[in-house]
Structure 1
Amino acid sequence: MQMKQVLLEARQDFLSLLKRRGWKEKDLNILRGIFLGELSRVDVPADIFELAIKEAVKGNLKLSSKLLGVSEIDTLEILFWYLPKKYPLPSERLKKRLKAESVKEFIEEANRLRVKLGKKDFMELYLHLEEAEEEEEKRENTDLLERVRNLSIEKLSESEIEELRYFYSLLDLRGKESVRTLNVHPYILSAIIRNPSAPIVIDGSNLLWRGGLSVSYIYEVFERLAVFREFFFPYRIVFDRNAEFVLPVHERKGFERWKNSPNVLFESPADGLIISLANTMDAVVLSGDRFRDHGLPRRVRVLTPEEIEKG
């Protein structure tokens, strides 16, 4: 109801403006506060705008569209404010939905939709479509949050993260904040929010030894990667084939999640596969080993856990 009152007041301002002659810049500012569609972006002198508006009200949409540099369908917004019982507001949402090629077709299709939805005029139709879109955006945002909550760091897939990045980019500031404050692993959030500088290949067995054969150390490393000055994604981890059996018995259950990850590979010795993957993926390597005995290509950058800890 509040939004409808705002629209009704805006219409009164528009009707009052029509009674004036010799429009000035202040009159254009009133129009810019009223128009909701393509007309809100028109930049022409006040006298041209006045002529275009008054010609449209007379029914000369063709001349009005030429003066304003917009389509005839877009000039229908002038008639909407003048007579919302007869003319629809050509919002981007409605234009996409109707896909009409002429003013006549647009009005006819909009009227069919109005009748179908049981709305008494085009102002009610506009409000209904806006509210429906807001609800849809809320549902999509809720779906996105749920998808992010269900992500696991072990099974992050590049294709899914790319899709979630796209949906994240469409959110408004409030929606983005709701994603950023989710209680999930920070590397997952960084994968959605930050732009990767390169993939990363991780020497898994080396990290296990450095972390005192504790699987939790791998998660700690990913926490540091999440806030490192560069962000690396996607990732691969290479473990020696006997990595599981080197671990204490109480650590093996936690290792199962990594063992079943599509981002984890096992090879013995692991160094050759790590270097090969880094070459193929054009990735950096995370390891405490400098691979001096394996002919590491110069272009492959090796980061140590100590560098990651420093940020």
Structure 2
Amino acid sequence: MSLADSVSVTVKHKSHAADVKPPTKTTARPALTRLERAERFWGWIMVLPLLIGLAVFYFIPFVQNIFYSFTDLDQFMNWSTFDINNYLDLFSDDDFYSAVFNTLFYVVVCVPIGLAISLLLAIGLNQNIRGKALFRTLLFLPAVTMPAAVAMVWQWLFNKDFGLINYLLHFFGVSAVGWLSDPDIVRISVSIIIIWSSLALKIIILLAGLQSIPRSIYEAADIDGISTLRRFFCLTLPMMVPTLFFVSVMSFIEVLQIFDVVFLTFDRSMVESDTMTVTYLFYKNAFYLQQKGYASAITVVLFIFTMLITLVQMAIGKRLKVA
């Protein structure tokens, strides 16, 4: 090989080596200043009480409840076996299926009707009407009323002999209805109470969503001559989808966990025969029958069912947002 050829090979080798770039080093994260470290430290200090509260009162009991659902825990918090008998007994219990049926009935009836009524009332309160502040206050009263007081009022309203509702029905020639005793009516009575007592918070959230819609959109619709009904379905409803989705998820969870309405309004015999919910079944086994392990299994199943319903709703909500 001649000198010129060796020089050219050497130059090519060097040029090829120059083309190959060494891997770039990741830039080091700048060190926190003294002020930033102090802010982070005091931030964790401020959040620490809340984290401790969540761990002590929510996370640890949640894990304990799952563990106890596999045991024969008794009223003295003693257990001797660890198996799945609680779940096997649960899915062969007629009371459980009756409670599930009643709970799903309340969900199917109360959630859509309550959402529709809340939306209509929120739209009405969003208009420039006289006495708007008074109506808002009256509609918010159920949210700050004790469940025991609510139950007493509805027991009087639903009374078969001297209740106000039957007194009004008498003027239309309708015979007295056993709102609290007729097995075919009691579920409707529970649904009415649930819908009424849950309106307040829904109205506030929906009213906030309505007020977040720019007024310029409605002004443009008025200029174009769009009717009120078409404006509702083409403008208001599509822009309220995120708020309606949040309220529907909240309503599903609330109705699935309903307890106080059934427990306080009806006597025990009526609850256990016609209006029993899953949460009342848990209460019955945990505090009446003292079968705490079995009661823990009920709450685990209720949690899984609630989580699945919520995940389905979230998937539907994402598809609606994409559309």
Provide TM-score, normalisation by structure 2. 0.22
Give the structure with the higher percent strand.
Answer: 1
User: Comparing both chains, which one has the higher relative contact order based on Cα–Cα distances under 8 Å and sequence gaps of 6 or more?
Assistant: 2
Higher helix content, 1 or 2:
2
What TM-score do you get using the length of structure 1 for normalisation?
Answer: 0.22
